[in-house]
Structure 1
Amino acid sequence: MLSGKVVVVTGASGGVGRAVVRMLGVKGAKVALIARGETGLATAATEVGVEGGTAKVFPADMADHEQVDAAADAIERELGPIDVWINVAFSSVFAPFLEVEPAEFERTTAVTYLGYVWGTRAALKRMRERDQGVIVQTGSALAYRGIPLQAAYCGSKHAMKGFTESVRTELLHQGSGIKITMVQLPAVNTPQFDWVLSRLGRHPQPVPPIFQPEVAAQAIVYAAEHPARREYWVGGSTAATIIGQKFIPGLIDRYLGKTGVGSQQTDEKPPTGVGNLWEPADEDRDYGAHGSFDTKSKDRSVQVWLSQNRNKVAAGAGAAAAALLALRAARR
């Protein structure tokens, strides 16, 4: 379905983006890789080729709309018209709100929120001429529920959700053939926790349940191929977050106030001292897709499987219902 298609992936050099581009290589796509870290990008491009796809690197800072637009021009010039644009890039700061400097908060917002805005704008400008294309926004359960120590990131993900919903309704009003969808992720075992700017006394860690980046990539690539749904979820935490936020927000606030700080830190390894907020961490070193929590991470998700097998589940449920009715009729 994506074979031969031009697919742009931002944040492609590491973590979830890295897992996505490898999977796109398996699909035979022509993959445009955008990120800042050129060592990570080069290795990721090689992996796409090994998997059977075609890859080209387009270094850019997603916080700079001029760089993003120039990258989009170069992609269409060198690879062809963009069919799919997948926004993954982000940055963050792990610290209590008042310990985050204003410039750091602005930078996190510029990458994690405005980076999606500039990516979406660059994609829509070009897709509009052809009235076709797909945009996939990689979101988070934190788009629904903020947690301590990540105010800038949580705010950006909330903003991304509202922005995407607004753009979707505009496209529907216009009768556009362009589709835009979101994939809301749970905690994922990526290098984020090794290279994020942190002012915590201990090494940051994802809040369990933790999933491997390949699980997230599977859902993102599936959403690119099946964009009719407005939103996909990965892992049970997103659903639990939405339900909790709707019905018991005060209780959730108190629970996170008590447990949320400690659950995002570990003594299993010392802090790395690395921070990629202003400069890429993978400029001279390749971090790959996985972080430091392989032993704690799940390599499959029931929700992803259900999303990909809805027809089978529905058919199975229908067959079971028919069998039950037949059994009841036979007993009469």
Structure 2
Amino acid sequence: MPQVVVITGASAGIGRATARLYARRGASITLIARGRGGLEAAAAEVTELGGHPLIHEADTADARQTEAAAEATEQALGPIDVWINCAFTSVFAPFAEITPEEYRRVTDVAYLGFVNGTRAALARMLPRDRGTIVQVGSALGERAIPLQSAYCGAKHAINGFTSSLRLELLHRGSNVHLTIAQLPAVNTPQFSWVRSRLPRHPQPVPPIFQPEVAARGVLHAADHPKRKQYYIGAGTVATVWANRLAPALLDRYLARTGFGSQQTDSPAPARPDNLFAPADEPAGADHGAHGAFDERSHPRSWQAALSRHPVVTAATAATGLAAAAVGLRRRLGGSRGAA
């Protein structure tokens, strides 16, 4: 029997790239997002690649809509094997420029949407005592940066929520697995549709990876969920360890560089955003998996490949720690000289 997989945020970006990988396995996939245009395009790709799609328009910030998507999945495709929480939205702006309504909306989608998805999945997996839930996390869930306070807060919250829930599953001896794929900067359409009040066009902080790198990490986490989390991309590992080894230095470095590194040299264009309505409506546009930074994005990650081999990863950990600390001190010194 083919796997039954649910992916939230499946119409674009990492969710879209992950759906393609599962489609090549012949999986039955429920694609959840708000916009019909992206969902229909994603479903066509899944079918072409050998998978079996089910479209479900839903806002995962609404627990009832998320529950309805889970129910529709099991009625149409069968018991859910894997649930992947990936949907999010955000606002690029200093905290003082984000309204309470905007902050609540980001939190409702990027944090509570994961809670709602996890609840819907567990309601079906726990009685069967099997299944896997993957949270698509971020390096920003361990090390915050400026201009993304709502998103960083949500990703930190996901880490705490998931850790607490994992302990409850361990306590009851459950065979339901829960893991997190912590991702680096990824070239997705979000930088062209997330609400922004920055003077210039937002961009991911280099090094930037293509969505396929992230999707392979998510797929591996789902296949091997007994590890509580996976760090995908050298930038993620460097950020996490620099934060653990020299947090004060990293604070000063990011305070100096974090504003400029998240913006291109181009002025911010006038454009719609997807905070309260999908970006592919009403025109029915399809944004695909990739964003606007293909020329600057890496299609592969040596670190991500190593992370799939824990013995090799452990052998290189000491080198990674030292490199992160040395690199941070050099960068901070360089930014001082330029200031």
* Same fold flag (TM > 0.5): yes
Aligned to 2:128, the other structure's residue is in SS state coil
Amino acid at match of 1:201: P
Q: Is the 8 A contact 1:204 1:271 kept in 2?
A: no
Tell me the equivalent position of 1:101. Answer: 99
Tell me the equivalent position of 1:142. Answer: 140
Once residues 290 and 236 of structure 2 are traced to their aligned partners in structure 1, the CA distance between those partners, rounded to angstroms, is 21
The 5 Å alignment of 1:97-176 reads 97-176=95-174
Once residues 59 and 272 of structure 1 are traced to their aligned partners in structure 2, the CA distance between those partners, rounded to angstroms, is 27
Tell me the equivalent position of 2:278. Answer: 280
Amino acid at match of 2:305: W
Tell me the equivalent position of 1:209. Answer: 207
Aligned to 1:82, the other structure's residue is in SS state coil
* Corresponding residue to 1:30 among 24, 28, 31: 28
Gap runs ≥5 in structure 2? 317-339
Tell me the equivalent position of 2:222. Answer: 224
Tell me the equivalent position of 2:48. Answer: 50
Q: Is the 8 A contact 2:14 2:86 kept in 1?
A: yes
The 5 Å alignment of 1:53-64 reads 53-64=51-62
Once residues 220 and 156 of structure 1 are traced to their aligned partners in structure 2, the CA distance between those partners, rounded to angstroms, is 19
Q: Is the 8 A contact 1:203 1:272 kept in 2?
A: no
Tell me the equivalent position of 1:6. Answer: 4
Tell me the equivalent position of 1:66. Answer: 64
Amino acid at match of 1:259: T
Q: Which has the larger radius of gyration?
A: 1
Choose 245-254 or 125-134, whichever is displaced more: 245-254
Amino acid at match of 1:185: L
Deviations 1:151-195 (A, max 9, x none): 000000000000000111100110000000000000000000000
Deviations 1:121-173 (A, max 9, x none): 00000001100000000000000011010000000000000000011110011
CA RMSD of aligned residues (A): 1.5
Q: Is the 8 A contact 1:108 1:152 kept in 2?
A: yes
How far residue 269 of structure 1 moved from its aligned partner, in angstroms, is: 6.4
Tell me the equivalent position of 2:82. Answer: 84
Runs of 4+ in 1 over 3 A off after TM superposition: none
How far residue 286 of structure 1 moved from its aligned partner, in angstroms, is: 0.4
Tell me the equivalent position of 1:324. Answer: none
Tell me the equivalent position of 2:197. Answer: 199
TM-score, normalised with respect to structure 2 = 0.90
Percent of pairs with identical residues: 58
Gap runs ≥5 in structure 1? 318-332
* Corresponding residue to 1:252 among 235, 250, 253: 250
Tell me the equivalent position of 1:305. Answer: 305
Choose 277-286 or 113-122, whichever is displaced more: 277-286
Once residues 243 and 38 of structure 1 are traced to their aligned partners in structure 2, the CA distance between those partners, rounded to angstroms, is 40
Tell me the equivalent position of 1:236. Answer: 234
Once residues 141 and 32 of structure 1 are traced to their aligned partners in structure 2, the CA distance between those partners, rounded to angstroms, is 27
CA separation of 1:272 and 1:228: change in aligned 2, threshold 3 A:
farther
Aligned to 1:129, the other structure's residue is in SS state helix
How far residue 247 of structure 1 moved from its aligned partner, in angstroms, is: 2.3
Query: How many residues end up aligned between the 2 structures?
Result: 313
Once residues 222 and 80 of structure 2 are traced to their aligned partners in structure 1, the CA distance between those partners, rounded to angstroms, is 13
Tell me the equivalent position of 1:184. Answer: 182
Once residues 27 and 170 of structure 1 are traced to their aligned partners in structure 2, the CA distance between those partners, rounded to angstroms, is 32
